[in-house]
Structure 1
Amino acid sequence: MTTLYDTGPAAEGQLHALVIGVDHYPYCGRTTRLEPPWRDFARAVSPLNCAVPSALAVVDWLRRHLSDRVHPVGSIELLLSAQQEQQVEGCDVERATMANVQTAFDRWYDRCDRNPDDVALLFFCGHGLRLGSEDVLLLEDFGADRHRVFDNAIDFRETYYGMRMAKAGIQCFLLDACRNTPEDLAGRAKACATALKHASPSLESRDAPIVYSALQGSRAPAPDGSPTRFTEAAIQALEGGSADHTVPGWPVTTDLLHFGINRLLGWGEKPDGRQFAAHGGQAFGGTIHALDVPMVPFRFGCDPHAALPHAYLHLANPERKFARPPAEIVWRGAAPADSYSLRAEFAAQGYAGEPATVMLLPPYKDSLLKVTPA
């Protein structure tokens, strides 16, 4: 089994994580044994090269926050499917087959069913699709059984409702997968995929946001060999991009999680277009974790831009000072959330400008310093 970390039961609330990354789909592609109408769809399920790096990035974030002051990490379950076997800290990582995922889910669920102060976190990155009202997540052995095509795929909707029975008071689900309906499967009402936990008849509400990397009916971008944009934005949001600056303690809250991720997805130059995250479930504003002071990414330039190659930029307050020498590109960096003075100095006498007060608050700050020809 691949339980990377487990502190055992604790009196205080903990965060328990289940992390799944699937790049390798050996029963799909051109050699699939599935019959029509599944064959064309399975042939289009190509290997990925971003799911394992994305899952490992999430695990790295979790390990850096083992001692969080609100919800210290209590356990990490990890399953990875790549062409080669994976190791983390010298441990062989189980592959993300249905049997392994079900067993790991059961361990994770049992931990999430101990304490109402706990946080349950599920992250999935891999292939997915939408059939009827179902979001279906494909595991490594999807397509292995030509008679029961979707047995090795997760019915997320049923699983999500099944989690209602767990005691964990906060449950967060981050799904980095496509949500389009393949043309070959259009008109099919449901997939009959596997629920990792059968839904409870209870309609009891809970603080359980879902953040999807794609809108319904859309594909999720899949970079080559690096974590996805969605994963990076989710980690940045958890690092402070979704922190609530209106209350003490900089809590990262469930109601701001989707907002922070979406804002961060839209920040910066994206040559292949804007990505939008979707949200579902219910978010009541519970605290996932808290920070001392979040780091806020920033991007500063000059107006007009022609002044920037001549500007020494300074960002300062009584406690901190940052500076950058002249350059043709905007100043990108990060600084602790706070109020600062932003000013420009010019070696030549071509431009002049007054300092500006900038407030660095999550999720990020963009600002142009107004200068005038001298």
Structure 2
Amino acid sequence: MGLIFESAAVQQDPARTATHVLLVGCETYPKLAAAGFGDGTPLGSPRRSVESMANWFLGGADGMSPAPGQPPDQAFNNPDAPLGSVEMLASPADDYTTPANITKSVTRSTLSNVRDAYKRWLARLATNPQSRGVFYFCGHGVGDGVDQYLIADDFGEDVDDPWKAAFHVSNTCQVSIRKTRANLLFLIDACMEFSPQVLFQISAPQPLINGARTGDSLCTDWAVLRATTTNRLAYADPQGTARFTTALLQALRGHCGQQRPGPAVLFDVTVSQLRAATGLFLTRLQQPGEDSVQKLGSPQGEGSWDMPLHVLNGRPSVLVELDVDPRGYRPIAQAFMERNGTPRNMQPMTTGPAKFVVQQGEWTYGVGGGVAETSDVERLLAQAVYSRCFLIP
């Protein structure tokens, strides 16, 4: 069992409103090549990616108690549904050290282990319709032109039926929404590249849990956010986390949210806002002209997607990038931002576009220094990333 966190409150009352998280990372795949899938080279990012997600969820006050933990623009925070549990399965199945410096055992992400953990996750969520569930997967994935299948770490260990270690994403969701009323978010950081191998299987990969498609769903607000589109790959930066996970965590760290009605100054991060911000950061991670283009997959789910997953106690920030064209002016140009008569913040552009992180709101920004000053005056910046290139005549 890969339970790396369970709050004292949930231990006392398993039915209390909480956020329950299941994290799965598959990296080593020791029998993948022998089963005729890939060249046997382990993936480089899922273990780091799944740990990065765990660090974000456990780095806040809920996961660090009695220590204060990091602020909401750096780690998970949701007073309406505090962190209740985090279960992690990964390969390699090395121990994991939490942000509180506690060493926890990690269960290997074989299909049977993932299936058992998934059942436990759903059981926790079924105790309270106001709870929130987050399922995260990072590893190999394939598509049949329509649906996506995720591949567990023991793929190929059953030589007679290697695809038994894969599971159908959409069918898993369809069964799940008939098991719990809690809000569900599925974060899938895996490829959807077309695979004729899965298409031609007599027995197609099954969902993680069995059930009927018929009948009314209990859950009316659920979503799947995928790292890439149909028939395309997902990518990872060398020695880093997977690209979608990187963008997702950047968005969660204070770059999206809408103000909650009422006297408290709180900003709710909903699924719809998170998807938009993640897409902007993912686009920013692409290099111009790069062959390995990755765009967010089409959203799947139902409901308004307005249930807060995460809550900020301050106004969200905007990453602003300012540049000049022609680029030959960069060594002499300077970018600036200012608002409401506050001192102007200026940055050189010698090494590339100037970058500012500012609160959402009206700002005046532009370029000057060794070039004729030009600016946009009192423009509303309300999205996670904003880029502007000023043409120098």
| TM-score in same-fold range (> 0.5) | yes
Question: Which residue in 1 is equivalent to 2:319?
Answer: 297
From 123, 138, 143, the counterpart of 2:136: 123
State the secondary structure of the residue aligned to 1:137: strand
Count of residue pairs the alignment pairs up: 360
State the secondary structure of the residue aligned to 2:177: helix
State the secondary structure of the residue aligned to 2:170: helix
Give the Å deviation of 1:367. Answer: 2.1
Give the counterpart letter for 1:76 in structure 2.
V
**Cα–Cα, structure 1 residues 352 and 94, in superposed 2: closer, same or farther, change >3 Å?**
same
Cα distance in 2 for partners of 1:207, 1:355 equals 40
Moved more, 173-182 or 267-276: 267-276
From 280, 292, 295, the counterpart of 1:263: 280
Write out the 4+ residue segments of structure 1 that deviate beyond 6 Å after TM superposition: 245-248
1:172 aligns with 2:185: yes
Give the Å deviation of 1:185. Answer: 4.5
Q: Cα deviation per residue 1:89-132 (whole Å; 9 max; x = unaligned)? A: 32221111123222322221121112111111001000111247
**Cα–Cα, structure 1 residues 304 and 49, in superposed 2: closer, same or farther, change >3 Å?**
closer
Q: Cα deviation per residue 1:47-78 (whole Å; 9 max; x = unaligned)? A: 20111111111112212344423432221111
State the secondary structure of the residue aligned to 1:234: helix
Cα distance in 1 for partners of 2:16, 2:311 equals 15
Structure 1-normalised TM-score?
Answer: 0.84
Give the Å deviation of 1:175. Answer: 0.8
From 282, 286, 293, the counterpart of 2:302: 282
Give the counterpart letter for 1:73 in structure 2.
L
C-alpha contact 1:129 1:137 (8 A) present in aligned 2: yes
C-alpha contact 2:78 2:311 (8 A) present in aligned 1: yes
**Cα–Cα, structure 1 residues 325 and 180, in superposed 2: closer, same or farther, change >3 Å?**
closer
Provide structure 2 residue ranges, at least 5 long, that are not aligned to the other structure.
63-76
From 352, 372, 379, the counterpart of 1:329: 352
C-alpha contact 1:125 1:177 (8 A) present in aligned 2: yes
Question: Which residue in 2 is equivalent to 1:181?
Answer: 194
C-alpha contact 1:338 1:360 (8 A) present in aligned 2: yes
**Cα–Cα, structure 1 residues 198 and 315, in superposed 2: closer, same or farther, change >3 Å?**
same
**Cα–Cα, structure 1 residues 240 and 166, in superposed 2: closer, same or farther, change >3 Å?**
farther
Give the Å deviation of 1:269. Answer: 4.5
C-alpha contact 1:15 1:119 (8 A) present in aligned 2: yes
Q: How does 1:41-60 map to 2 (within 5 A)?
A: 42-44=37-39, 46-60=41-55
Cα distance in 2 for partners of 1:190, 1:223 equals 35
Structure 2-normalised TM-score?
Answer: 0.81
From 14, 20, 23, the counterpart of 1:16: 20
Provide structure 1 residue ranges, at least 5 long, that are not aligned to the other structure.
33-38
Question: Which residue in 2 is equivalent to 1:229?
Answer: 243
Give the Å deviation of 1:312. Answer: 3.7
**Cα–Cα, structure 1 residues 241 and 10, in superposed 2: closer, same or farther, change >3 Å?**
farther
1:311 aligns with 2:315: no
Give the Å deviation of 1:330. Answer: 0.8
C-alpha contact 2:22 2:118 (8 A) present in aligned 1: yes
Cα distance in 1 for partners of 2:84, 2:235 equals 31
CA RMSD of aligned residues (A): 2.9
C-alpha contact 1:342 1:369 (8 A) present in aligned 2: no
Cα distance in 2 for partners of 1:370, 1:357 equals 19
C-alpha contact 1:122 1:172 (8 A) present in aligned 2: yes
